[in-house]
Every structure is written in structure tokens, then in C-alpha cells.
Amino acid sequence: MNVRNSIFAALIFMALLMAFIPADTILKFKLSPDRMLAEVREDMYMIHPDQVADMIIAKDPSLQLIDLRTPEEYAKFHLEGAYNIPLSRILDKDNLPVFNQDIRVNVLYTNGSTDAQAGWMLLRQLGFKNNYVLQGGLNYWTETILNPEKPSDLQADDEIARYDFRKGASQHFGGAPAPSSSDAAGTAPKPIIKQKKKKAPQGGC
């Protein structure tokens, strides 16, 4: 009888503790792979350079650029107002509050977009929202904003409008030369995401 009672007591005690710990603390891993794949495929986490340029010029206060490259690369060139948090330090205790908030829109970038995407996935796994990836990274930024391609005269009006915008933005940003593409996916407008395939567990019958 004593064994039985101590087992009952132990189980109730452990359950009692669980009742008082918030679910967020118990479930450390916020996003299932299926959900993450859905978000990746929707591409909603990417921001086009046009949009970012617009926000910078308009001095949009919600924008926060985050440069995930090394301090050396950051020193050589970085986008206006960007913080430098190297990818290797993205999970540091001091840096997490930057990503875990819902006031500012963090746009992560690197030279291409592979590392920025990796950074986004890490943060998304932790359940953080409000973090986005600069589509195509600095390489694409250079192509579109700093050295915009002049459309042919036969192009549609919106193409020309976009070109004008980019030319103006280019002036603003000083049309600086492109940094080296140290991480892949460089110039393609729709970068291909290399996602680590996690096999979902089989189960049931």
C-alpha cells in the first residue's frame, strides 16, 4: 500500500508542476516541419529590394536591417542603419531579444540569401515572427537598386516607373560597387532554398 501511495503522490506532484509551467516553456520547439515548409513555399518571408529601398528612403521606423555577415565584411560595406549580428552569434542570449519582438520588422541579409535563409529558419523554429529575408541578398540589391537595368523603350509603364524609382534609390545609396558573393544563390531573382529534409515520423497502423 505504501508503494502505491508514494507512486500516486509522485505522479500528482509531477503533474502539479506541469500545470504551473507555461506551455511555451514546455514546448521549446515552436514550429513543426510541415508548417515551416508551408511558410517557406509561400515565400511570404522574403522582402524584395524595392520594398526595402522604399522603406529606407521613406525613413520607415519599423524597419531594422540585420547584417548576418562577418564584422570584416560589415565594415567594408553595409546597408544604411543595419546592425551587424554574424550568423554564428545569432543564438547568443544578448542577440535573441532583437529577433524576439513584434515592434520592428527585421530584414536579414547576407551577400546571397542562403545564410540569411538559414538564419530565418533558425529564428522561425524558435517561434519568432517579424523576421524576413532580403530576397537575393546584397548581390541582388546591387543588381536592382544600385545598378538598375535600364528597360527598353518598349517596356510597360510600370517597368519604367520601377526603373525610375531604382535610379533614384541608386543615387540615394551612392551606387556603391557590389560586394563579393561569398555565399551562393547570388543573382537569381527567385533564390532556390536548400532545405534540410527532416523525415516526418511514420506512425499509426
Partner 1 sequence: MNPYIAGILLGLVLIASFFVSGRGLGASGAMKSSVVAVVNTVAPDYAAQDAFYSKYVQNGQKPLKAWLVFEVLGVLIGGFLSGAVSGRLKLGIEKGPRITDRRRLILALAGGLLFGFGSQLGRGCTSGSALTGMAILSSAGFLSMMAIFGTGFAVAYFFRKNWI
Partner 2 sequence: MGPLAPLEIISGDWNLFLALIIGIAFGFVLEQAGFSSTRKLAGVFYGYDMVVLKVFFTAAVTGMLGLLYLSLFGWIDLNLTYVNPLYLGSTIAGGVIMGVGFIVGGFCPGTSVCAAAIGKIDAMVFVGGIFLGVFLFAELYPLIESFYMSGYLGSPKVFQSLGIRMGVFALLLTLVAVIMFIVAEKVEKFVNKGA
In the complex, least distance from residue 184 CB atom to partner 2, rounded to whole angstroms: 23
Told to check if 7 binds partner 1 by CB under 8 A, we report yes
By a kind-dependent CB cut-off of 5 to 8 A, residue 3 interacts, out of partner 2, partner 1, none, with: partner 1
Told to check if 93 binds partner 2 by CB under 8 A, we report no
In the complex, least distance from residue 18 CB atom to partner 1, rounded to whole angstroms: 11
Q: Which is nearer to partner 1, 177 or 203 (CB)?
A: 203
Cβ atoms of 65 and 85 closer than 8 Å = no
Kindly report the three-state secondary structure assignment for every residue of the chain.
CHHHHHHHHHHHHHHHHHHHCCHHHHCCCCCCHHHHHHHHHHCCCEECHHHHHHHHHCCCCCEEEEECCCHHHHHHCCCCCCEECCHHHCCCCCCHHHHCCCCCEEEEECCCCHHHHHHHHHHHHCCCCCEEEECCHHHHHHHHHHCCCCCCCCCCHHHHHHHHHHHHHHHHHCCCCCCCCCCCCCCCCCCCCCCCCCCCCCCCC
Stretch that binds partner 2, among 22-30, 47-55, 72-80, 111-119 (CB under 8 A): 22-30
CA distance 188 to 5: 67
In the complex, least distance from residue 198 CB atom to partner 1, rounded to whole angstroms: 10
Told to check if 204 binds partner 1 by CB under 8 A, we report yes
Told to check if 2 binds partner 2 by CB under 8 A, we report no
Stretch that binds partner 2, among 23-31, 89-97, 156-164, 165-173 (CB under 8 A): 23-31
**Options 2, 3, 16, 88; binder of partner 2; rule CB under 8 A:** 16
Cβ atoms of 66 and 104 closer than 8 Å = no
In the complex, least distance from residue 86 CB atom to partner 2, rounded to whole angstroms: 24
In the complex, least distance from residue 26 CB atom to partner 1, rounded to whole angstroms: 12
Told to check if 17 binds partner 1 by CB under 8 A, we report no
Told to check if 203 binds partner 1 by CB under 8 A, we report yes
